[in-house]
Amino acid sequence: MKKRNLLLYLALIAGAVPTLLPFVWLIRSALMQDSQMFIAPPQWIPEPFQWSNFTEALTAQPFGRYFVNTVVIAVINVLGTVLTCSVAAFSFSRLRWRGRNVVFAVLLSSVMLPYAVTLIPTFVMWQELGALNSIIPLTLPSWFAGAGGGVFNVFLLRQFFLTIPFELDEAAYIDGASPWRVFWLIVMPLSKPAIIVVTIFTFIGVWNDFLGPLLYLNDEEKYTLSLGLASFQSIYITQWGYLMAASAAVIAPIIALFFFLQRYFIEGVTLTGIKN
Amino acid sequence: MAALSGQRRLERRWGYFMAVPAVLGFVIFTAGPMVASFVFSLTDWQIGGTPAFVGVDNYTALADDELFWKSLTATTYYTLGAVPLALIIAFAVAMLLNQRVRGLPVWRTIFYLPTLVPAIANVVLWIWIFNPDFGLLNSLLRQGGLPTGMWIYDEAMAVPSLIIMSTWGFGNTMVIFLAGLQGVPQHLYEAVSVDGGGPWHRFRHVTVPMMTPTIFYTLVVGVIGTFQVFSQAYVMTEGGPNNATLFYVYYLFRVAFRESEMGYASALAWVLFMIIMLVTFLLFRNARRWVYYEMAGAR
């Protein structure tokens, strides 16, 4: 038994080392002087710690601005997605109307759709509406139940709503409540875990999105972090200290968010997998 | 009776009303653009110009487009490497973590961490890892006295390099597998043990069959996602060297937004759509043979 355990932990360590190594490489490079970075065999402890990599990289381009831009887009998307997806999920789970299941199935089919198929007409539409180079194309769709891949959130919320006892609704209706009141005062307060999961995934989606900002944002002052980092990379192409410092700064908020909301992250990923 | 029908009416009215944003979203951002992109695909159209109807010319032109075939090959190669590799590693690690490991949350966090790295930060980090002179990989290989590689700068190594990079993010799949493994009913394992079956029997006749729905789900999602890989090609390799990493969506992007051939790019988009539909259909049809579904439960 002991021997088996030892093997088990050895195997786990063997997996964990290559998993963590890129992070170690990222951090040590972010804190290293160029001269030390090019020594062979590679050194692992920065000597001295070059904290100025961070200050210089993050001021060489307005990363603070990119950060604010990204957060603004993320907040608008989270609000829109949570609100409209919940409303739709409520309709699809707790209100009875003809054709409900057919409509839901059709909506859900769009989850499988490759985004490339809708990319060009959507771009042309925003162009015709004069919305290019603004955050409208990156935010407005979220106010229509996430639109496209975001429909998955409707599915997730619907699954969760179905676990809430229907007796609660019935009692409220007998007291003369409207469906909106039932939704807002009964179902939503009981669905916090699902709402947090949708919030996290929407937030990460915005943080990760590259193609969207690349297509729709032209002015540098409107860039998101992803777009800003890509443009930074193309300029400081061999300044590894700067590049790693900037990357670390883009990664850090997400990792911090993860450590605060770890339980919900894991729950959320698990929920998506249990789908089938 | 009158009260019930009043309630029904209320539900119906609000039901329609509350479904409106989702339905509108579907029409404006999914169904409409899909139809439009098909119509575009039948035209010769540059941004700013007027579309000219050309029938299926764009589709027949694809057959002679060397870059189209190149992009299809590169993307298929990438998918065939990245998806199975991630599944196998995720499954193996999930199996290890399912052995009543001490400090499970810590291990799970370690393996999950890479999936949190935003795509572009990930790309920038791996450009440095792949750097032939001072990057992590070659530094380690050199120290171990092993031959070094040119990684993303070598035509033959470029796609395998990107597969290695994508495998780093197996944590999502692992968490899904782990949840699946923890849901396998204990009594099934006990039944095998009672019948004198060893660990291999338990794995082969309980774990694997019970996990097939989860494996199937991650396989389908993995294939669809991987087929649409973009950022690596855009930032890391620009499709090179010698178009080795000219991934499909990157090629489509270039045709649409660099050469502004909207008609041709729309044909590319529709072909991608049909390929993904076909692959999904084949996966589902094939699934009947190996995916184990319990008797449909309560409902």
Instruction: Fill in the amino acid letter for A19.
Output: T
Helical spans, DSSP H, in B183-226? 186-194, 199-202, 208-226
Give domain status of residue B269, yes or no: yes
Residues B8 and B132 in one domain: no
Does B298 map to a domain? no
**C-beta neighbour count of A74 within 10 angstroms:** 21
The pLDDT tens digits of the residues spanning A229-254 come to 999 999 888 888 899 999 999 999 99
Find how far residue A209's CA is from the centre of its chain. 8
Nearest CA-CA distance, residue B33 and chain A, Å? 5
B87 shares a domain with B31: no
Is B156 domain-assigned? yes
Strand partners for B44: B52
* Confidence band, pLDDT 50/70/90 cuts, at residue A85: very high
CA distances from A166 to A60, A83, A94, B7 (A): 57, 21, 8, 14
Based on the domain organization, do B27 and B102 belong to the same domain?
Answer: no
- Grade residue B104 by pLDDT with cuts at 50, 70 and 90: confident
Q: Is B145 left (phi over 0), alpha (psi -120 to 50) or beta?
A: left
Same domain membership, residue B93 and residue B19: no
B171 and B266, same structural domain?
yes
B100 falls in which pLDDT band (50, 70, 90)? Answer: confident
Please indicate, yes or no, if residue B48 is contained in any of the structural domains: no
pLDDT tens-digit readout, B52-64: 898 889 999 999 9
- Residue B90 in 3-state DSSP? helix
Read off the pLDDT band of B32 (50, 70, 90).
very high
ipTM: 0.88
Q: Is the distance from CB of A133 to CB of A222 less than 8 angstroms?
A: yes
Calculate mean pLDDT across residues B122-140: 91
Residue B298 has pLDDT above 50, yes or no: no
Check whether residue B75 and residue B163 sit in a common domain. Answer: yes
Domains of chain A: 1-50 (no CATH), 62-274 (1.10.3720.10)
Q: How many CB atoms lie within 10 A of CB A15?
A: 20
Q: What is the pLDDT of residue A273?
A: 59
B217 touching chain A per CB within 8 A: yes
Q: What is the pLDDT of residue A1?
A: 57
The pLDDT of residue A50 is: 85
Best B8, B23, B29, B116 member to test A by mutation, with max A CBs in 10 Å, is B29
pLDDT digits (tens, 9 = 90+) for A115-149: 889 999 999 999 999 999 999 999 999 999 877 66
- CA nearest neighbour of B264 among B43, B14, B29: B43
B223 part of contact set with chain A, CB < 8 Å: no
DSSP B8-24: HHHHHHHHHHHHHHHHH
User: What single DSSP character describes residue B241?
Assistant: S
Query: Are A66 and A74 spatial neighbours (Cβ–Cβ below 8 Å)?
Result: no
Determine the average pLDDT of the residues in B18-35: 92
- The fraction of chain A above a pLDDT of 70, given in percent, is 97
Q: Which of A144, A173, A266, A272 to mutate to test the interface with B (most CBs of B within 10 A)?
A: A144
B74 to chain A, closest Cα gap in Å: 17
pLDDT of amino acid B3: 52
One domain for residues B85 and B157: yes
Q: Please give the DSSP secondary-structure letter assigned to residue B235.
A: I
- Higher-pLDDT residue of A147 and A26 is A26
Q: Looking at the domain assignment, is residue B197 inside a domain?
A: yes
Would you state the pLDDT for residue B295? 43
User: In sequence order, what are the residues at sequence separation of 6 or more whose Cβ sits closer than 8 angstroms to the Cβ of residue B157?
Assistant: B149, B150, B151
Q: Mark whether B82 and B35 lie in a shared domain.
A: no
B118 vs A250: CB contact, 8 Å cut-off? Answer: yes
| Structural domains in chain B (count) | 2
pLDDT higher than 50, residue A78: yes
* Percent of chain B with pLDDT strictly greater than 90: 51
Determine the structural domain holding residue B16 and report its residue range.
1-41
Residues B20 and B137 in one domain: no
In this structure, is residue B296 part of a structural domain? no
Q: What are phi and psi of B53, to 5 degrees?
A: -70, 130
B142 and B281 share a domain?
A: yes
Tokens of B259: 């050469």
Put simply, the answer to whether A120 touches B121 (Cβ < 8 Å) is: no
Q: What is the mean pLDDT of residues B120-127?
A: 93
- In the predicted model, is pLDDT for residue B5 greater than 80? no
Residues B164-210: tens digit of each pLDDT: 999 999 988 998 898 888 888 888 888 888 888 888 888 888 898 88
Q: Which residues contact B98 (CB under 8 A, 6 or more apart)?
A: B178, B181, B182
Asked whether residue B180 is domain-assigned, the answer is yes
The pLDDT of residue B111: 93
Cβ–Cβ gap B40/A121 under 8 Å: yes
Q: How far apart are CA B87 and CA B173, in angstroms?
A: 7
Q: Which residue in chain B is spatially nearest to A209 when comparing CA positions?
A: B119
Residues B96 and B12 reside in one and the same domain: no
Instruction: Determine the Cα–Cα distance for residues B43 and B52; give it in Å rounded to an integer.
Output: 5
| Same domain assignment for residues B5 and B140 | no
Beta carbons of B119 and A225 less than 8 Å apart: no
Q: Which amino acid is at B168?
A: W
pLDDT tens digits, one per residue of B259-274: 989 999 999 999 999 9
> What pLDDT, in 10s, does the model give residues B233-253?
999 988 879 889 999 999 999
**What gap in Å lies between CA B168 and CA B182, rounded to an integer?**
23
pLDDT at B296: 40
- CATH of residue B77's domain is 1.10.3720.10
Confidence check: pLDDT of A167 > 50: yes
- pLDDT at res. B162: 95
Minimum-distance CB partner of B99 among A8, A117, A240: A8
Evaluate whether residue B52 is within a structural domain. no
**Which residue in A91, A107, A254 is closest to B18 by CB distance?**
A91
State which H helix or E strand residue B43 sits in.
strand B43-44
Give the chain B residue whose CA is nearest to the CA of A140: B25
Q: Check CB contact under 8 Å for A250 and B121.
A: yes
Cβ distance of A88 and B22 shorter than 8 Å: yes
Q: Which of A152-166, A212-226, A256-270, B109-123 is predicted with the least confidence, judged by mean pLDDT?
A: A256-270
